[in-house]
Amino acid sequence: MQELEYSPPTHAFKMVPSSMGTDWATPAPDDAGVRKAAELLNAGTKVALLVGQGARGPEEEIAEVAELLGAGAAKALLGKDVLSDELPWVTGSIGLLGTRPSYDMMMDCDTLLTVGSSFPYTQFMPEFDQARAVQIDIDGRFIGMRYPYEVNLVGDAKATLRALIPLLQRKSDRSFRKSIEKGVKRWWETMAMEADVKADPINPMKLFAELSPKLPDNAIIAADSGSSANWYARQLKFRGNMRGSLSGNLATMGPGVPYGIGAKFAHPDRPVIVFEGDGAMQMNGMAELITIKHYWQEWADPRLIIAILHNNDLNQVTWEMRGMIDLPKFAESQNLPDVDYAAFASSLGLNAITVDNPKKLGSAWDEALSADRPTVLDVHTDPNVPPVPPHATLEQMQSVAEAFLKGDENRWGMAREGIKVKMQEFLPHKES
């Protein structure tokens, strides 16, 4: 079929041509619904916003709503690129992979406004009798499904927020907003301190922290499902025109490198960076390096960087088993065969750098970001740095560590790095 000469359908029996070009509708809720939402939001004193990828587009309206309501905004993982992390009232990601200021804001608010998100993990949202809530979503099939929202507005996010803004009263008490901004500032300091905790040989957070300020404003970033998703969520400060994604709904391993390749085909003029675990590299990422070899010369900007978290472990699940179901590491299922990823990439003609010293991370990123071809960074990271959820207390961390001191093959490293990392939240900060 693909070889046949094209001929358009004719005006005859069984010839049913379709058409090109659709002007889609911009749905907006009824005035009565918008008024109800405005009344609820005006009645609250501590308003939290939750934005997801459906809120891409109305960034200015979200900022205006947040300013009027004295609110902060947390971002669902797939919405990380919706609002800049440089905004002082943006608390960052929410959930197990989220931040403490997002958690604190949700636990403290009396009003919730969700825009374009079906974030389902209610333990990270306010208690059900704690907050009154409004949801804005374009899809009437799913609205109101994830939380007991009192007002559900079906509509385009931008159109709905525009309708809402004139009805909102500016809150004169700014104390909630101030405490959010203070928490956000402290959080970013904590992230820098956690990335600086020494590890053996490289603290994976340092890999992300070193890149963050070097990211070009138009970079596209992908992460895989593994520990990299945590550091992507917490350590990267998105700004400018950056885009980012990962397998946010299914959390399947293996999309990282294909996402990166897809991004290069969609935007061959933008630099793309992928973070991927060694387990996912062994599943399909290494084969996809061959795809990169095949196509990279077609891309106007050839920079595609694959940064591998080489920890010889299915680390995210090792930690989930330790943290969630109280099991020590089961080496038989969790350990990975050691592979020289840089040598494999070199054999394909790609630029390749092995990094096993944290002092070399900065220059490795510089080299990759100025290379004339795709680069594989084979980064030897420490599997004993835990992806600790934001609400874990130091006491909980210590008791988890003690529980495992008996049965875990990495017990000493795990206890040492884990507690050192968590401690950074509680140590005095330089500037505050």
Ligand X SMILES: Cc1ncc(C[n+]2csc(CCOP(=O)(O)OP(=O)(O)O)c2C)c(N)n1
Least distance (Å) between residue 207 CB and ligand X: 11
Binding mask 196-235 for ligand X (x = CB under 6 A): ----------------------------xxxxx-------
Pick out residues in 273-292 that bind ligand X (CB under 6 A): 277-280
The greatest distance separating any two alpha carbons of the chain, rounded to the nearest whole angstrom, comes to 79
Between 133 and 289, CB nearer to Mg ion: 289
Q: Does 252 sit near ligand X (CB under 6 A)? A: yes
Q: Which two tokens stand for residue 420?
A: 């050192």
DSSP string, 335-385: B-----HHHHHHHTT-EEEEE-SGGGHHHHHHHHHT-SS-EEEEEEB-TTS
Q: Does 77 sit near ligand X (CB under 6 A)? A: no
Between 99 and 381, CB nearer to Mg ion: 381
d(CA 25, CA 22): 9
Q: Does 382 sit near Mg ion (CB under 5 A)? A: no
Cis ω before 201 (30° cut-off from 0)? yes
Q: Which residues pair with 310 in a beta bridge?
A: 380
Between 295 and 330, CB nearer to ligand X: 330
Least distance (Å) between residue 324 CB and ligand X: 12
Between 92 and 277, CB nearer to ligand X: 277
Pick out residues in 309-368 that bind ligand X (CB under 6 A): 309, 311, 313-317
Least distance (Å) between residue 233 CB and ligand X: 13
Between 161 and 421, CB nearer to Mg ion: 421
Between 333 and 393, CB nearer to ligand X: 333
d(CA 1, CA 270): 35
Task: Write the DSSP symbol of residue 8.
Answer: P
316 touches which of ligand X, Mg ion, none (CB within 5 to 8 A by kind)?
ligand X
Pairing between β-strand 72-75 and β-strand 90-93 as defined by DSSP bridges:
parallel
Other CB atoms closer than 10 Å to residue 402's CB: what's the count? 11
Using CB under 5 A, pick the residue from 92, 260, 277, 390 that binds Mg ion: 277
Other CB atoms closer than 10 Å to residue 32's CB: what's the count? 8
Least distance (Å) between residue 345 CB and ligand X: 17
Q: Does 151 sit near ligand X (CB under 6 A)? A: no
d(CA 147, CA 150): 9
Phi, psi (degrees; rounded to nearest 5) at 93 = -70, 160
Number of residues that bind Mg ion (CB under 5 A): 6
280 touches which of ligand X, Mg ion, none (CB within 5 to 8 A by kind)?
ligand X
Select from 143, 149, 148, 154 the least CA-distant residue to 41: 149
Pick out residues in 280-339 that bind Mg ion (CB under 5 A): 311, 313, 315
Task: Write the DSSP symbol of residue 6.
Answer: P
Q: Does 371 sit near ligand X (CB under 6 A)? A: no
Q: Does 386 sit near ligand X (CB under 6 A)? A: no
Q: Does 41 sit near ligand X (CB under 6 A)? A: no
Pick out residues in 203-262 that bind Mg ion (CB under 5 A): none
Which stretches of 130-285 are DSSP H helices?
157-164, 175-196, 204-211, 227-235, 256-266, 278-280
| Residues within the interface to ligand X (CB under 6 A) | 224-228, 251-253, 277-280, 309, 311, 313-317
| Residues within the interface to Mg ion (CB under 5 A) | 277-279, 311, 313, 315
